[in-house]
Amino acid sequence: MFDDFGQTLGVTLALAATTTALLVLMGIPLAYGLAYSKFRGKSVLEAVVSLPLVLPPTVTGFYLLIAFSEENTLGHFLIHTLGLPLNFTFTGILVGSVFYSLPFMVHPVQSGFENISPSLREASLTLGKSEWTTFTRVLLPAIKPALLSGLVLSFAHTIGEFGLVLMIGGNIPGQTRVASIAIYDEVESFNYDRANAYALVLLGIAFFILFLMFTYNRKLRTRTLI
């Protein structure tokens, strides 16, 4: 039983950590582009990024389940050409989690970029700094609180996800069974002590990362005022 408990928490934390890492690589450049670029279809892209905020997780999970199935063109290509089946695999729930948690990274970071004075970016570019140097050396340090919010929200949202993970991954111990699904299973079986153990771990993780975020942001504001 302990092995199952540890495996489930391991899958949960691995999913949240990997999802957050991928969102850093994808979400920050996307937020930068949405904040500073003007192009036709920008509203469409913003709507797509924001869809997970309003869609029930089961709806998103259902359509991804269909998209990844062998009968679908995309799923057939993934399975037979790339040898990459996604339904009922850790990779599949990872792909789904990245999409479903995307706005939790993009929105805070995009707001951070948009709240920076335009003169800061313009001054850096005018002084001959490249777009990349301006991005990494000037803008990113200026939005540390927004970056931290994106990291925390993405991680916390992923460890609590239920419907989407269940639709795509099912409930395979050691592979796709995450803590939120385990809690549901244990409650269904009237194993309240085990459900409480999972819930307490998730509660502790959520409280700890939120505590760190608020503490860091308060210290940062204090330094800025000084």
Question: Are the CB atoms for 164 and 61 separated by under 8 Å?
Answer: yes
- The verdict on residue 170 lying in a domain is yes
Is 226 among the domain residues?
Answer: no
pTM for the complete prediction?
Answer: 0.90
pLDDT at position 134 is 86
The predicted model gives 152-158 an average pLDDT of 93
101 domain-assigned: yes
Rounded average pLDDT over 34-62: 90
Per residue in 183-197, pLDDT (tens digit) is: 999 999 999 999 999
Distance CA 50, CA 65 (A): 20
Question: Whole domain around residue 158: which residue ranges?
Answer: 2-221
Res. 226 pLDDT band, cuts 50 70 90: low
- b/e per residue, 33-53, with b = 16+ CB within 10 A? ebbbeeeeeeeeeeeebeebe
Q: Residue 202 domain-assigned?
A: yes
- Does the structure show a pLDDT above 90 at 77? yes
Greater model confidence, 136 or 222:
136
Average pLDDT over residues 106-128: 88
What pLDDT is attached to residue 175? 93
Residues 213/149, Cβ–Cβ less than 8 Å: yes
CATH of the domain at 212: 1.10.3720.10
Percent of the chain with pLDDT over 90: 70
Domain-located, residue 157: yes
Please report whether residue 113 resides in a domain: yes
Cα–Cα distance, 214 to 217 (Å, whole number): 5
Q: What is the pLDDT of residue 155?
A: 95
Identify the sign of the CA torsion 54, 113, 141, 130: positive
Q: How many domains does the chain have?
A: 1
Average pLDDT over residues 63-91: 93
